[in-house]
Amino acid sequence: MTTVSNDQLVAMLRAMMRIRCSEESLAKRYPEGEMRTPTHFSIGQEAMAVGVCAALKQDDVIYSGHRCHAHYLAQGGSLLGMVGELYGREIGCARGRGGSVHLNSPEVGVMASAAIMGETIAVAVGSAMAFAMDRSPRVAVTFFGDGCVEEGIFHESLNFAVVKKLPVLFVCENNFYSVNSPLRLRQPPDLAIHTRATSYGLPAQQVDGNDVVAVYEAATTAVHHLRAGNGPYFLEGLTYRWREHVGPLFDTDQGVRSQRELDFWMEQCPIKRASARAQASGACTELDLRRWWKEFGQEIDAVVEQVRNSPFPKPENILDGTY
Amino acid sequence: MTTVSNDQLVAMLRAMMRIRCSEESLAKRYPEGEMRTPTHFSIGQEAMAVGVCAALKQDDVIYSGHRCHAHYLAQGGSLLGMVGELYGREIGCARGRGGSVHLNSPEVGVMASAAIMGETIAVAVGSAMAFAMDRSPRVAVTFFGDGCVEEGIFHESLNFAVVKKLPVLFVCENNFYSVNSPLRLRQPPDLAIHTRATSYGLPAQQVDGNDVVAVYEAATTAVHHLRAGNGPYFLEGLTYRWREHVGPLFDTDQGVRSQRELDFWMEQCPIKRASARAQASGACTELDLRRWWKEFGQEIDAVVEQVRNSPFPKPENILDGTY
Amino acid sequence: MRRLKYWQAISEGLVQCMEKDASIFIAGGGVDDPRGIFGTTLEAHKRFGAERVFDIPNCENAFTGVALGSAAVGKRPVVVHARNDFMFLAADQLINLAAKWKYMFGGRTSVPVLFRGIVGRGWGQGATHSQSTHSMFAHFPGLYVATPAFPDDAKGLIVTALRGHTPVILLENRACYELEGDVPEEMVPVQFGKARVLREGRDITIVGASLMAYEALRASDILRECGVSAEVLDPRSIRPLDRETIVASVRKTGRLVVADTSWSLYGFAAEVAALAAEEAWDYLKAPVRRVTPLDCPAPVSKVLEEAFHPSPSTIAQACLSVVKAEAALEKSVGDVQERFRGPY
Amino acid sequence: MRRLKYWQAISEGLVQCMEKDASIFIAGGGVDDPRGIFGTTLEAHKRFGAERVFDIPNCENAFTGVALGSAAVGKRPVVVHARNDFMFLAADQLINLAAKWKYMFGGRTSVPVLFRGIVGRGWGQGATHSQSTHSMFAHFPGLYVATPAFPDDAKGLIVTALRGHTPVILLENRACYELEGDVPEEMVPVQFGKARVLREGRDITIVGASLMAYEALRASDILRECGVSAEVLDPRSIRPLDRETIVASVRKTGRLVVADTSWSLYGFAAEVAALAAEEAWDYLKAPVRRVTPLDCPAPVSKVLEEAFHPSPSTIAQACLSVVKAEAALEKSVGDVQERFRGPY
Ligand SMILES: Cc1ncc(C[n+]2csc(CCOP(=O)(O)OP(=O)(O)O)c2C)c(N)n1
Ligand SMILES: Cc1ncc(C[n+]2csc(CCOP(=O)(O)OP(=O)(O)O)c2C)c(N)n1
Ligand SMILES: [Mg+2]
Ligand SMILES: [Mg+2]
C-alpha cells in the first residue's frame, strides 16, 4: 500500500527524531529560566510537519502559527537559528526580536510564523496568489490548529483561495484542544473539520496525523493537485500535543486532559510508529535508532552550548528593523 | 399547497405595497437634495422582509444592514421615524444622527441596522443568546446580503450559534450583487450560499425570495424550530434589487447589470406576484389594489410633508447621546 | 482594610457585582479553565457556574457583537481577552459599533459591555502579546477606557462599569497582578474621569497610566532621595480624562513628565503633554518629557525587553533632567516584572 | 506644469509606477468597476487589465494578509478600501502583522504594501463612513502613515511608497478629490517625514493634517484680512512626523493651532501640541489650540455635520482667539464639501 521508499522513510523518521530530540532537550532546559519566551512545544505532532514538508520542494513556502518549531525544522530552518531565538540571542533566526512564536527562515521557505491565530492562513494564500500571477509552479502551505478554524479569517481565506483557484495547501493539525478548551465545545459536534472546507468546494481530506507516511502521501497528492493548477487543497490531520499548551510541563494533573487520553496518544507516537515500520521493512535497525538518537542528542547539546556562548543583541540596536 | 389565509395574504401584500410606495416616493424626491444620507433602496426585495417579519411576534427582535428600510417597516418601525431620519430631522428614529443605514425602533423590536457589513449578524446571535439564557421563547432574526457571507464574522457567528444552540434565524437576501461585484466572482461558483451553512450542521433552506408566501412559510417553519429550542436556522432567499446599489437611480446603463437581467426580475416583482395570487384567490380585487396604492401614496406624502415641517436637531445638542 | 492582590480585587469586584445583578455574565477564552485568567474568574466560575461564566470558541470579532447584542436586550456581559492585543480582531465591533451604538441609534439604547483586556508584559511575550492598546481605543468617542494600576481602583472601576450605561474597555497590566493594596470589602465605585493623586509634591508632576502609575510612584521615592518632590497622578481612566486635576497639578509644579505603557506618538503621553501646552503653557518652567516604550515593536530578548519598557529609573531620570538636578541617577530600579516566569 | 485634480494625480501616480514595476497590482472592492474608486483606478484597469487591477470578495482582514503574503514573495500590492473605516476589520493584520513583520522576523524581510483608505466625508455619511483613522494607525511603530491634501503630494507619496520597503497607509480625504493643483508629469517622489510649508508667516503656526491642510490655508486667507500672518504647515506624513519643521515654526511664531480631521484626544492634534510642550515650551506666547471634530461620533443631519467638522472659519477663529485679536470673525467660510452630492 505504501509508496515511500526505505530511504524516504528513514529520512522522515530521522527528521522527526531530530525535532523530538531537540524539543525534549529544550523542554528539559526550559526551567533553567534562560529561554525567556513563551514556548509551545510540538512534541507528539511531528508527523504532520515532516510528512507535509517532505512533499515540498525547496522553493515552496510554508507558514506557521504559535506552535511552529516542528514546521520550521522540517522545512529546513537551522537548529542554531531556532535555539538562538529561544535564548534571545543575536544569532537567533529573528535576531532575538521574535521569540519562539516567530520562527522564520526565508532562505529555505519558512516565511513566517505568527502568534495571533489565523493570521498566516491568509498570508499563505497571498504567497500562493503571487505564484499564480507569475504562473510559477511554486506552492504555499499554511499550518494551523483546530482552534484557528473558528476564526473568521480562516473562512475568508478559504473563500478567496477557491474563487481565485490558488495553489495553497491548508494543513489543519487537529489536536482537539485550543489551550484548555476541547474541540467539541467550540465547533459543531460530529462535523469533522475538513467537511467545513468541503462547503467551499475544495478537495478536503482527513488523515491519521501521527502516521508520517499517510501524511506524506496525502500531501503529495495535494501538492500535485496544486501544481496542476487545480486550486487549493485542504488536509486535516488528527494528532495530539503531549505537553501543556505553552511551556515544558505535562498538564494531565490540571483537570482538563486526562492521563488516559494522553497515554492513548503516546501509544500512537508518530516516531514509535515510523520506527516500527522502518524496522519491519528493513529500512533500519534498533541499533540505527539508538545511534540516531545519540547523534541528535549530541547535535542539540552542541547547539545549545554554542548559543549560550553567543552574544545577546545590543540594547543600542533595539530600533533596528522597525523600518 | 399554501397555508396562508386570505387575510394574511392581504396583510403581507399591503405591507409590501406600503414599503414600495414609500420608497418609490422617496426615490423620486431624492434628487431634490434634501435627504442628505446615502440611501440603499430595498425596492424589489420587499418579500423577504415582509414574509419573515410576518412569521414573528412583537417581542422578537430583528437586525439589519445598510439596506434596512424594508426590514424596519415590515417589523413595524414608524414611517415617520424613517422619513424623519432620511431628512435628518430630530423626529427621525435616530434623531437625525444615524441616517438611512441606522434605522432602529427598539419599541417594536427593530434593534439596530448598521452600515458595516456583517456586524449585526453577530449582534443578533447575542440577543438570541440572551433569550436562551433567560429560557425565553423570543427569537432573533438577522437580515444580510449575499456579500456578507464572505466576511469572517458570518462564519464566526454561525459557528457560535450552532455550538450554543441559539434561537437565531439567519436570513440571507441573495440579490447576486455586492455593489457592482457579481456573486459568481466572489464566492465558489455552483455552491449555493445556504450550503455554506449546512457545513455547520444547521438546517438551511433556499427559498424563492420574491414569493412572499413561500418566504412566510419557510420563516414560519424556521421560527417554530427556533422556539422549540432546536438551535439556529438559515434561510437564503433569491431576489434582486432594482435600483443602483446606493441612490435612487437605475444603473443598467453602467455596464455591470444588464437591462435584460433587470427586466427578468421586474417580471418577478414580489408585489405583482402577490397581487395576482390575492386576486386569484379572491382575497382582493383590482379596485382594492388601486385603492391601496392611493392610500399609501397619500400616507407617504403626508409623512414627508410633516417631516419637512419638523425641526432639525439643534447644533448645541450635537454631543447628546455620545455617552 | 484588608490587603488584596490586584487579581483578587478584580475577582472580588466581579463576584460581588454578579451577586447583586443576575444579568451579568463573564465570557471569553479560558474564563472557565483551571487557571481562570490569572485567577480573576475562578471564584465567579465556582460561585455562578457554567451558565454565567463560560468559555467561547475563538472568534474575537463575532463574540464582541454577541456581547453587544445580549446587552441590547438587557444582559451585562463581561468579555475577557487574555491579551489585549487580540482586541484588534474586534476593532470593528468595538469602534464602529459599540462606541457609536448609543449615538447613531438616537440615544435611546445603550450596550453596556465591560471588555477586559490584559496587557501581557513579561517573559519575552514579544511584539503581539505585550502592547498596550488603551491610547488607540481612547481616541474614539463613545467608549470609556480605564487603566487601573491598583487593586482598589480595579475593583472600583469594575463596580462602576457594571452599573453604568457605557461600553467600557478595562485594560489590566499583568505586571500589576501580584501587587497588593488596601481594598474595601464593600462595593465602592470609582468614578470614571477622576484622577487619583498618589502623592503630593512641589517640584514636578508625574502622570503615569496603568503600570506606569505604580512605577511613577517608585520613581518618586528615588526622586525624594535626590531632593526632588514629585507629585504623582494616576488618571485611572483615560477616557474620560480628568483634565482638571492634571492641569491643576502642572500649574502648581510647573513641570511635567508623562509615563505610559503605550507608545509615545499619538498616545496617552502625547495627550497629557498637549494638555500642558493648552492649559498650563504659561506655568511651565521646563520642557515636558514623555517616558514610554521605545518606538519599535516589543522585542523578546531580555536585554532588549529591559531597554524597551520604561522603568522607575528611566522615569526618575527624565524627571531629574527636567528639574535639572545635576546628579545623574546612579541607582537603577528593576521593574516589577523581574520575578515573573509565567504562567502567561 | 499641468494642473490635475487630486484623483487624477493618484491615478497617474499609480499608472506610472505600474508601468515601471510589473510587480505592482491593485486590488480591492470595486477597483475594476465603472466608477473605479472615484476614478483613481480606471486608467490602471484600462491599461493593465484584470490581471493587475482586480476586484475581491468582501474580506478585509484576510485580504490584508493576502497582500502581505504576496509582498513577502516579491509583489507590491496596492490595496484599496473605499472607506478607511473598513480597515478596522483589518486592524489585526495591519497592526499585529504588517507593522511588526520586519522587526519581529529579524529584519531580513519586509512587506511593502500600500494600503489606500478613503475618508468618506460629505453627504451625511455618518458615524462609520467618515472617520479619519490616521492617528490610530500612526500610534504603532512599523507603519508609515501619510495624509496628502494636495494632488502633487498624493502622487509623490505614492511613488515613494511603491519604491520603499515599508507598509504604508495612505489616507485620502474624499473632499480633496476635486481639488486641483500643479502636478509634475514625471514621477517626483515625496519623502515621508518631510512637512511642507504651505505658507510662511510670523504670528502663528497652523499645522493641518489631511483636508485640514487645505482648510488651514483658506483660514490663513481670512487671517490675513484680519491682519494676522499665519504660517501653514502640512505634515504630509504623520508617521514619520517631521518634528523639526514643526518645532522650528512654533519657535518662530510662538503660537500654535493644530487642525485635524481625526478626533482631538490621543490624535494628531495632541501629538503636535505635545511637541510644542516638549520642544518649544519656552517660546510659546499663548496657549496651543486644537481644532478637530467634536468629541462624538459623526452625525448625519446636515446641521449637525456642519457643526461637527472643523472648517476654515473655526480654524481662523481659534487662531484669532490665540493671537487675541479683538474682532470676532464675522465671515464664515463654507467647507470644500458644499457641492458634494455623491457618488459616494
Ligand atoms: C486571535 C487569538 N486569540 C487567542 C489567542 C490565544 N491563543 C494562543 S494559542 C491558542 C489556541 C490555539 O489552538 P489551536 O489553533 O488548536 O492550536 P494548538 O495550540 O492546539 O496547536 C489561543 C487561544 C491568540 N494567540 N490569538
Ligand atoms: C465591511 C464593509 N466592507 C465594505 C463595505 C462597502 N459596502 C457597502 S454595501 C456593500 C455590498 C453589500 O452587498 P450585500 O451584502 O450583498 O448587500 P446588498 O447591497 O446587495 O443588499 C459593500 C461592499 C461595507 N459597508 N462594509
Ligand atoms: Mg489545537
Ligand atoms: Mg447583495
Name the DSSP letter for residue D301.
Answer: S
**Nearest ligand 1 atom, CA C128:** 25
Strand A204-208 relative to strand A181-182: parallel, antiparallel, unpaired? unpaired
Q: Is residue B263 part of a domain?
A: yes
Spatial CB neighbours of D338, under 8 Å, sequence gap ≥ 6: none
Q: Do D265 and C241 touch (CB under 8 A)?
A: yes
User: Residue A152 and residue B151: Cβ atoms within 8 Å?
Assistant: yes
Percent of chain C having pLDDT more than 90? 93
Residue A67 grid coordinates = 506552535
As annotated, the active-site residues of C are 60, 129
* pLDDT, position D1: 78
Q: Which residue of D has its CA nearest to B33?
A: D341
Tens-digit pLDDT profile for residues A211-265: 999 999 999 999 999 999 999 999 999 999 999 999 999 999 999 999 999 999 9
When mean pLDDT is compared across A153-162, B91-100, C238-247, C316-325, the lowest value belongs to: C316-325
* Residue B92 with chain C: CB contacts under 8 Å: 106
pLDDT at D337 over 70: no
CA B11: distance to chain centroid?
17
Tell me which chains share at least 3 CB pairs under 8 Å with chain B.
A, C, D
Is A159 close to B198, i.e. CB distance below 8 A?
no
Residue B14 to residue A135: CA distance in whole angstroms? 57
Q: Compute φ and ψ for A231, nearest 5 degrees.
A: 95, -175
- Top CATH class of D2-183 equals alpha beta
Residue whose CB lies within 8 A of the most ligand 2 atoms, among B153, B178, B196, B238, for a mutation test: B178
Ligand 3 midpoint to CA A67 (Å): 10
**C54 vs C107: CA distance, rounded Å:** 31
How far, in Å, CA of C133 to CA of C138, rounded?
A: 9
pLDDT in tens, B239-294: 999 999 999 999 999 999 999 999 999 999 999 999 999 999 999 999 999 999 99
Of D106, A308, A90, D62, nearest to C127 by C-alpha is: D106
Nearest to residue C111, comparing CAs of D103, B183, B157, B120? B120
For residue C278 the three cell numbers come to 493648552
A311 within a domain of the structure (yes/no): no
Pairing of strands A181-182, A177-178: antiparallel
Q: How far apart are CA C161 and CA A6, in angstroms?
A: 65
Residue C331 has pLDDT above 80, yes or no: no
Beta-carbon contacts of B305 under 8 Å, excluding residues fewer than 6 positions away, are none
Ligand 2 atom index nearest CA of D128: 25
- D324 in helix, strand or coil? coil
H-helix segments, chain B = 6-29, 46-54, 69-74, 79-86, 119-133, 152-163, 193-198, 212-227, 259-267, 270-280, 286-308
Instruction: Please give the single-letter amino acid code of residue D214.
Output: Y
Q: Alpha helices of B87-178 — where are they, by DSSP H?
A: 119-133, 152-163
Asked if D212 contacts D335 with a C-beta cutoff of 8 angstroms, the reply is no
Q: From the CB of C88, is ligand 1 less than 6 Å away?
A: no
Task: Give the contacts of C124 (CB within 8 A, at least 6 positions apart).
Answer: A36, A37, A38, A88, A99, C300, C301, C302, C305
Among B66, B170, B246, residue to substitute to test ligand 2 (most atoms within 8 Å of Cβ): B66
Q: What is the largest CA-CA distance in chain C?
A: 61
Is the CB of D106 less than 8 angstroms away from the CB of A97? yes
Nearest 5°: the CA angle C112, C118, C120 is 165
Q: How far is residue D260's CA from residue D211's CA, in Å, rounded to a whole number? A: 8
Assess contact for B126 and B160: CB atoms under 8 A.
no
Q: Are B161 and B127 in contact (CB under 8 A)?
A: no
- Residues A82, A19: Cα–Cα separation, whole Å: 11
**pLDDT exceeds 70 at position D326:** no
Contact indicator for C215, C330 with CB cutoff of 8 Å: no
What CATH number is associated with residue B181? Answer: 3.40.50.970
Quick: pLDDT tens for C128-185: 999 999 999 999 999 999 999 999 999 999 999 999 999 999 999 999 999 999 999 9
- CA distance to partner chain D, nearest, from residue C67 (Å): 17
pLDDT tens, residue by residue, A117-159: 999 999 999 999 999 999 999 999 999 999 999 999 999 999 9
User: What phi and psi values does residue A263 have, to the nearest 5 degrees?
Assistant: -55, -45
Which residue on chain A is closest to C344 by alpha carbon?
A38
A147 CB under 6 A from ligand 1? Answer: yes
What CATH number has the domain spanning D196-333? 3.40.50.920
CB B284 within 8 A of CB B10: yes
Nearest CB among C239, C266, C277 relative to D268 is that of: C266
Using one digit for the tens of pLDDT, what is the confidence trace for B18-51? Answer: 999 999 999 999 999 999 999 999 999 999 999 9
Contact between A187 and B155 using a beta-carbon 8 Å cutoff:
no
Residue to substitute from C95, C103, C129, C281, interface D, most D β-carbons within 10 A:
C281
pLDDT of residue D339: 66
The DSSP bridge partners found for residue A207 are: A237
Give the mean model confidence (pLDDT) for residues D128-139: 98
> What's the 3-state SS for A235-303?
EEEECCCCCCCCCCCCCCCCCCCCHHHHHHHHHCCHHHHHHHHHHHCCCCCHHHHHHHHHHHHHHHHHH
Nearest to D30 by CA among D75, D79, D71: D79
For residues D153-181, average pLDDT: 97
What are the structural domain ranges in chain D?
Answer: 2-183, 196-333
Pocket flag, ligand 1, residue C89 (CB < 6 Å): yes
Q: How confident is the model at residue D327 (pLDDT cuts 50, 70, 90)?
A: low
One-letter amino acid for residue D154 of the chain: A
In a domain, A318, yes or no: no
**Is it the case that residue C122 has pLDDT exceeding 90?**
no
Nearest chain A alpha carbon to B199: A196
Answer yes or no: is pLDDT of C344 > 80.
Answer: no
pLDDT at B1 over 70: no
Q: Interface pTM (ipTM) of the complex?
A: 0.98
* pLDDT recorded at residue D295: 98
The one-letter code for the residue type at D63 is F
Minimal CA separation from D17 to chain A, in Å: 18
Buried b (16+ CB within 10 A) or exposed e, A219-234: bbebbebbbeeebbbb
Buried b (16+ CB within 10 A) or exposed e, B95-114: bbbbbbbbbbbbebbbbbbb
Classified as helix, coil or strand, D232 is strand
Asked if residue B320 belongs to a domain, the reply is no
> Which residue do the cell numbers 491579551 mark?
C83
Mean model confidence pLDDT for chain A? 97
Q: How many domains does chain A have?
A: 1
Tens-place pLDDT, residues B119-137: 999 999 999 999 999 999 9
Contact A204, A198 (CB under 8 A): yes
Residue B233 lies in a domain: yes
The residues of D assigned a catalytic role are 60, 129
Considering the domain boundaries, does residue B96 fall inside one?
yes
Tell me: cis bond preceding B203? Omega within 30 of 0 counts: no
Would the CATH topology of C2-183 be identical to that of C196-333?
Answer: yes
- The boundaries of the domain holding residue B264 are 6-306
| A278-296 mean pLDDT | 98
**Contact between residue D96 and residue C91 where contact means Cβ atoms under 8 Å apart:** no
Residue A63 CA to residue A103 CA, distance in Å, equals 10
B175 lines ligand 2 (CB under 6 A): yes
Q: Least CB-CB distance to A96: which of C62, C125, C300? A: C300
Q: Where residue D328 falls among pLDDT bands split at 50, 70, 90?
A: low
pLDDT at C324 (0 to 100): 82
Contact list in B for residue A202 (CB cut-off 8 A) is 188
